[in-house]
Structures are given as C-alpha cells and as structure tokens.
Amino acid sequence: MPSHLFTPIALGDLELPNRIVVSPMCQYSAEDGRMTDWHLMHLGQFAVSGFGLVVVEATGVEPEGRISPGCVGLWSDETEAAMARIVDFFRARGSARLGIQLGHAGRKASANVPWMGGGALAPGDGAWQAIAPSAIPFGPGWPAPEAMNGQALARVRAGFVQAAERAARLGFDVVELHAAHGYLLHSFLSPLSNARDDAYGGSLENRMRFPLEIFDAVRAVWPAGKPLGMRISATDWVEGGWDLEGSIALAAALKARGCDFIDVSSGGLSPAQKIDAVHGYQTRFAAEIRRATGLATIAVGRISDPVQAETILATGQADMVALARGALHDPRWPWHAAERLGDTASYPPQYLRARI
C-alpha cells in the first residue's frame, strides 16, 4: 500500500507530489534584503531531494519588517532580482514546488543575528524603530516599539500586497503569511501584546481584524487557484495569551475567505512562555484545528522520524508535515523516508545511482 506521506495533495489548483514540506527557516545571510549564494545552496539542496514543497524563509515586506539586518526581503526591484535566481533554479532543476513566507517582524524587528546573541540591536549597531499594535516591548532589554497609527497600518498592508505581486511575478507556487512566533500579525492577535482600544484591539473579532485584512488584501492580488495560507502560533504558552480557541476561530474566518491551508506552530510571543518541546509537541493543535474547521493543516515541531510523520497523517492529525531541523540534519530526508516506508521519492537524473 502506498504511504500517506508520499500521496499527492491538491491545494487550490496546485498539486504537490507528496506531503513533505520544508519549513521556512531564517538564514540571516541576506545583503540589504537580497538573497545570496548561501540561499541558492540552502534551498537548492531541497529542490532536488524529493520534497513536495519548499518554503522560502520569512521575507520582509518592508526593510523595517526584517527580524535582523541579515534577513531576506521582497520590497524592491533589487530584492526581486536576487530572488529570481532561486526561482529559476527550482524551475530548471527541482522537482519540489516553491513557496514563500511573507511577514513583518513587528516588535521583534531590529535584532542581531542569532550567532551574535540575537538580542535587540544597539543604536550604534544599526538599530531601527520597530512597530507593533501597542508600545509594549517584547521583553527585558528590548526597546518599546512604536504603536501603529492608521498610516502605518495602511503602509504595512500595502507592503504585503506589493510583495505578493512580486512573488506572483517571480512565479512562486504558494504564499504563506506569517502570523506566528510573536511577529507583527501574531502580536495583533494576542492580548498580551495588543492593548489597543480601537477597532484593532480588545475583542477577539477586533484583534483578528488586521491579520484578516492582510489576508484579504493579498488574496485579492494573488492569482486565483494558487494556494494562499497562513502560519499561526496556536498558543502563546502563557496564561491569558492567545490560545487554541482563538486559533480555531481565526482558522474558520480564514477558510471563509478562501484560505487553502493553515500551518500550525506555537509560541514565540513572550519570553515567559513555558514549552515542553518534545517530538511532535504541536501536532495536537493542528489536529484540533483540522477537526473543528476542515481546513487543510500543516503540522510542524520536531518531526524527524518517517514513521512519526506517517502516523501524523494516517491518524488524521494533519494533511502535511513540515520539517525544519530535520531537513537541515538530513537534506535527503524524503529519500530515506521512502526507503523506510517502502515507497518511492523523486531523484534528479544526476543522482539516480544513489537510489537503493
């Protein structure tokens, strides 16, 4: 019997050859938002290794929306041209479909790269002013962000639209909007970071308003039939924060607007979070959202073993699985998974001799 893992799946008009996704993974290796040779190597290895979908790392829709000075952007002709190399490689050599995660770092912007400590940049080190729904710092040692006014809301909304238009022009297959891990759209959702008293704060409906406006604006320009989804943090892992109940409500609202999938992660909004990050610790959130809404889900979070991944799909916890650390550790993961499950994966002709 064929495995669930290597069964194709349709998202909109797009068919993925299997259900193995490479999660967007920040590489902090861009130059003024432009992708470099590092990205061609990093993403190119996954293009030819049998994955169904590879998603480009969190991509800033404006320069101030980057997490760090080393983060990728898609806000100019220069950043678009640099990204075209990667898309061209996928089209010419790869078997995987290609997606991009569009986002804005919000109050977690203007940070150092992880191997330099990852904290907030000092003013003398190129720091810039971060923005957020409210002027609440991310944590100790972080400066207060500037609360967004109507002009800032409109600017960011336009930034997402323009980045989506560039992604369409480049030929990406999928767009994922980043509303997880404490970044801007997530910070609107959570009452821990959103203390607004206008139409964008307070009630659950109001806190969902800006992320849903972004979705609607992107859906209006992203080609019909091409999948559009959202990554969320299902819970803040902090009492009184964003939770699974809110996530189900958001997923239902997204589905009604034409969302094709939801990528279910968790955490990242508060240093006070308490997470027991065991293998598969987030899959139950994907399962609950899928059961409650019927929206296609991607399960993420320390999924590393092929049998574990197959079980997640076979038991209806999710429709797809996404790997991050597992893909870094083993870029040929689909080949080895196919061997383990008695199924077949895609090989480029140059590597056919490696197939057992």
Q: Among the residues of the chain, which ranges form H helices?
A: 37-47, 77-93, 150-170, 184-189, 204-221, 244-256, 283-293, 306-314, 325-329, 333-341
Q: Is residue 125 helix, strand or coil?
A: helix
What is the number of helices (H) and of strands (E) in the chain? Answer: 10, 12
> What is the token pair recorded at 184?
């801007």
Q: Which of 28, 183, 200, 347 is catalytic?
A: 183
**How many residues are present in the chain?**
356
The torsion defined by the Cα of 16, 20, 3 and 226, in degrees rounded to 10, comes to -20
End-to-end CA distance of the chain: 19
**DSSP notation for 98-138:** EEEEEE--GGG-SB--GGGT-SBPPGGGT----EESSS--S
Task: Point out which residues pair with 185 in neighbouring strands.
Answer: none
Instruction: Tell me the C-alpha distance between 282 and 323, whole Å.
Output: 13
**Sign of torsion, CA 120 186 29 303?**
positive
Residue 183 catalytic? yes
Q: Which of 292, 282, 290, 280 is nearest to 319 (CA)?
A: 290
Give the integer Cα–Cα distance in Å for 85 and 70.
18
Within 8 A by CB and 6+ apart from 124, the residues are none
Q: Cα–Cα distance between 312 and 307 in angstroms, integer?
A: 9
Which residues carry out catalysis? 183
